[in-house]
């Protein structure tokens, strides 16, 4: 089992969009710790369009969250969507994660949020005596943007950050898919579709990371 946590200390950075599309692309359940419950609403759209709902669990306490993972099948991956706030439950999710995905764009508020989130990772790393790292994913950016030097510089200066190659640009097809309760890999099978390509690329990077981790 691999616990894939999508997290950032700031809300509105596209965590739920990534969690939703990854869960569908990987055929993986979601543990939803985000109080906004946007994935629940997406699932309602999905059911209303006569599609099988995504399996979404919403633990009501830290104990329920831990108990669920302890009893979860060891041969299946799971995605955890963490809300954009700090809490003891969210910190537990970060600590037990096999991989942390942190979406960010070039907006200065999000860059500032990365500094705050790195401080949380440092605190966890010190307390638990292990490095708790996050994989930065450039997300929700203008499709024409090519210069991500600010993000690159931020990653280089913060040792608990690494960066995936995948870039997820702002695409109308993402919102069209969500309105139907679909993941982008269901919404279109066109291999040349840019939105689809980005999610497929992210899935491949995550799968490779997990495989390398298991081989260590």
The CATH number of the domain holding residue 163 is 3.40.50.300
pLDDT at 106: 84
Domain count, the chain: 1
Q: What pLDDT, on the 0 to 100 scale, is given for residue 137?
A: 97
Residue percentage of the chain with pLDDT more than 90: 77
Give kind and range of the element (H or E) at residue 5. Answer: strand 3-6
| Domain containing residue 121 | 3-215
Which ranges of the chain does DSSP label H, i.e. alpha helix? 15-26, 38-48, 62-70, 88-96, 108-128, 149-157, 172-179, 184-187, 194-215
Alpha carbon of residue 210 to chain centroid: 14
In this predicted structure, what is the pLDDT of residue 125?
96
Q: Are 4 and 80 in contact (CB under 8 A)?
A: yes
* pTM for the predicted model, two decimal places: 0.94
Task: Judge whether residue 35 has pLDDT over 90.
Answer: no
The conformational region for residue 179 under phi > 0 = left, psi -120 to 50 = alpha, else beta, is: alpha
Measured CA to CA, the distance from residue 109 to residue 10 in angstroms comes to 9
Which residues is 99 bridged to in the sheet? 4
Residue 84 has pLDDT above 80, yes or no: no
DSSP per-residue string spanning 164-202:
EEEEEE--HHHHHHHHTT--HHHH---TT-HHHHHHHHH
Q: Which pLDDT tens digit goes with each residue over 88-142?
A: 899 999 999 999 999 998 888 888 889 999 999 999 999 999 999 999 999 999 9
Stretch 42-47: mean pLDDT:
92
CA nearest neighbour of 91 among 68, 67, 117: 117
Determine the Cα–Cα distance for residues 26 and 202; give it in Å rounded to an integer: 11
Distance from C-alpha of 4 to C-alpha of 97, rounded to nearest angstrom: 6
pLDDT at 60: 87
């Amino acid at each position: 089992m691999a616990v894939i946590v999508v997290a950032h200390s700031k809300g509105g950075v596209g965590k739920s969009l990534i969690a939703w599309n990854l869960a569908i692309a990987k055929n993986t359940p979601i543990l939803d710790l985000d109080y906004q419950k946007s994935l629940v609403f997406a699932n309602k759209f999905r059911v209303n369009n006569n599609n099988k709902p995504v399996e979404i669990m919403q633990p009501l306490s830290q104990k329920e969250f831990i108990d669920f993972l302890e009893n979860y099948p060891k041969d299946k991956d799971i995605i955890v969507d963490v809300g954009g706030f700090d809490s003891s439950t969210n910190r537990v999710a970060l600590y037990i994660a096999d991989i942390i995905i942190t979406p960010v764009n070039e907006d200065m508020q999000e860059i500032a949020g990365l500094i705050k989130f790195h401080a949380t990772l440092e605190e966890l790393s010190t307390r638990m005596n292990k490095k708790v790292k996050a994989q930065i994913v450039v997300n929700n950016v203008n499709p024409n943007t090519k210069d991500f030097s600010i993000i690159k510089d931020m990653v280089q200066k913060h040792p608990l950050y690494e960066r995936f190659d995948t870039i997820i640009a702002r695409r109308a097809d993402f919102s069209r898919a969500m309105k139907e309760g679909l993941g982008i890999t269901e919404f279109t099978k066109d291999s040349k579709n840019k939105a689809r390509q980005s999610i497929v690329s992210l899935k491949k990077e995550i799968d490779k990371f997990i495989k390398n981790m298991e081989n260590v």
